[in-house]
Structure 1
Amino acid sequence: MSTITPVPAPVAAAATTPESPRPTRRRRTRIRWGMWTALAVVVLFGFAPVYWLLVTSLTPSDRVFAFPPAIFPTQVTFEHYATVFGNEQIFGYLRNSVIVSVVTAVLSVVVSMYMGYAFSKYRFAGRKSLMYFVLSSQMFPQALLLVTLYLVFAQFGLLNTYLALILSFTTFTLPLCVWMLKGFFDALPDDLIEAARIDGAGPWRIFHSVVFPLAAPGLVAAGLFAFVRGWNDFIFALTLAGPDRQTLPPGLVNTFISEASTSWPALMAASLVVSVPVCVAFILLQRFLVGGITAGAVKG
């Protein structure tokens, strides 16, 4: 009698998940070189124009248009910087820029901090509609309003004055400053305000004694944005201000560019000189600027 030998069941192979191999040394080297290459490209893109301004400002006038252009100047001269510092009219434009930019920054910060705080911590009818109305003003090109502002200022006799430039720049910087500070105030906990209110402080005392000191980074960021807006503007300063009230951008153009000729080396030297105040301000206020911009990014 035949017997049937049972066939053993197949043993299931254990599913093994191969571990992801660590990056080899060659791969890490390639990644590191790729990162350094990308950084070098970004640095070159950002600093190449500045370097070319410096080279042109140090090149003699008869060598500026030499071909092929020299990446490293063979002849260096400082006569163009002497021309800039010897022109008293440029210092007048510099004074106008400082006055207009500083007043614009202070006025923008003062108005936007109260507006941003009201939008952030108070609830009233039409709040959201008003917030979006303020933001919608950024949708229109600023040059589109130039003719209207010119007619309004001419009607009130404000042409060729500092006030015309300050009001124009403040109008354009307010929307972004308000939203920037609103995001910063949103990040401040309401418990601080409630604690101050329980202690008997009024709304004005709460804002100036509790909220205002904590809002310093946001205020610096908004003020720096408004300052740069007033410092760099060209078309409004050229149109609304006369020769005695013009700021640096149109003043430099009128000084070194004419129908007959253009003094490019002197213009490059003047551009580098007038860029120094803004660069110094960014370097000194960098930590406040970064903190003010990113403070309202995450609420909590």
Structure 2
Amino acid sequence: MTTLLAQEAPAPAARRAHPAGTRRPRRRPDQIRSSVAAWIAVAVIGLFALLPLYWLLVTAVSPKDQAFQFPPKFIPTDFTLENFRAFAENEALFDYMVNSVIVAVLTSLLSVVVATYMGYSFSKFRYRGRKSLMNFVLASQMFPQALLLITLYAVFRQFGLLGSYTALILSFATFTMPLCVWMLKGIFDTVPDALLEAAAIDGASRWRTLHTIVAPLAAPGMIAAGLFAFVRGWNDFIFALTLADKDTMTLPPGLVNTYIGEFQTAWPALMAASLVVSLPVVIAFMFLQRYLVGGLTAGAVKS
């Protein structure tokens, strides 16, 4: 009987689908056209995104007389590191870089700390005015940032904070915090309430539950929110130009004041400096990429 069942057993699916000696089915013309169109679209989008970066690199390593020649050379024949050497010899740019690091790091820490407590409160507590406060935090993102610059300038001048790190950090955190709050709220929503109840039964307070149980689970989201706030503090131009002075000025306005003049612009040196100051953000993304992707997708599905 076993032999009979073995003989009547159907052939494996792989053999039925592709018997020996037969060819795989050919793709239809419409499928080929769809694939070609998709690859062309990817190539065009990639070219649109990467061509400015390539041109930045080419200009940074080109001599000044070749940077403005027409027609331009997409593959330079002469290379020079003079533009990078000029950046390394400019002490003012290093001061701007130190200011950028201080402002970006403190903005990131402040945004993550406040957003952690706010997001946890919105996610796990129920109290009067909770939804109104959540909508208020979300609505704050609807106002153009430049529209609030005059108001913030007047407030900081009234309190004597103009030209200080505090003015820059508070202004940057004002615009990064709403997104960080909603990002972390979505992550805290995925933490089961049964876990919090078990911690309460074991005698853990709410503060200890948040700091020792919930926060480690939400670490990828906190890193993602911190990276977002860091990039915001590192790249901002208009607030740093308006609220900072010469001693606290960050890199974006510092580069403009150094290389862009009234009658001419040192484009090769500016491109070299822009390439150098972009490296910290690129390195941060390379090392924290998995945390960033995990943090952005952790709150997508509620458990």
TM-score by length of 2: 0.89
Q: Residue 62 of structure 1: which of 62, 65, 68 is its match?
A: 65
- 1:126-275 matches, within 5 Å, as 126-275=129-278
Pairing 1:38–2:41 present: yes
| In structure 1, distance between residues paired with 2:28 and 2:170 | 60
> Secondary structure of 1:69's match?
coil
Show structure 1 runs of 4+ deviating over 4 A.
Answer: 25-32
- Cα offset for 1:159? 0.8
Structure 1 unaligned residues grouped into runs of 5+? 1-21
Structure with higher Rg: it is 1
> Secondary structure of 1:237's match?
helix
Q: Residue 277 of structure 1: which of 276, 280, 286 is its match?
A: 280
1:102 is matched with 105
| In structure 1, distance between residues paired with 2:74 and 2:270 | 19
Q: CA RMSD of the aligned region, Å?
A: 1.5
- Cα offset for 1:120? 0.2
Q: Residue 89 of structure 1: which of 88, 92, 103 is its match?
A: 92
| In structure 2, distance between residues paired with 1:273 and 1:25 | 49
- Cα offset for 1:123? 0.3
- Cα offset for 1:36? 3.2
| In structure 2, distance between residues paired with 1:37 and 1:184 | 37
Amino acid at match of 2:125: Y
| In structure 2, distance between residues paired with 1:197 and 1:29 | 60
- Cα offset for 1:38? 2.8
Amino acid at match of 1:228: V
| In structure 1, distance between residues paired with 2:105 and 2:249 | 15
Structure 2 unaligned residues grouped into runs of 5+? 1-24
- Cα offset for 1:32? 4.3
Equivalent pairs: percent with the same residue? 65
- Cα offset for 1:62? 1.0
| In structure 2, distance between residues paired with 1:134 and 1:44 | 38
Structure 1 residues 93-127: Cα deviation after superposition (integer angstroms, max 9, x where no partner): 00000000000000100000000000000000011
Paired residue total: 280
Structure 1 residues 141-162: Cα deviation after superposition (integer angstroms, max 9, x where no partner): 1111111111111111111111
> Secondary structure of 1:285's match?
helix
Amino acid at match of 1:246: M
Pairing 1:119–2:128 present: no
TM-score by length of 1: 0.90
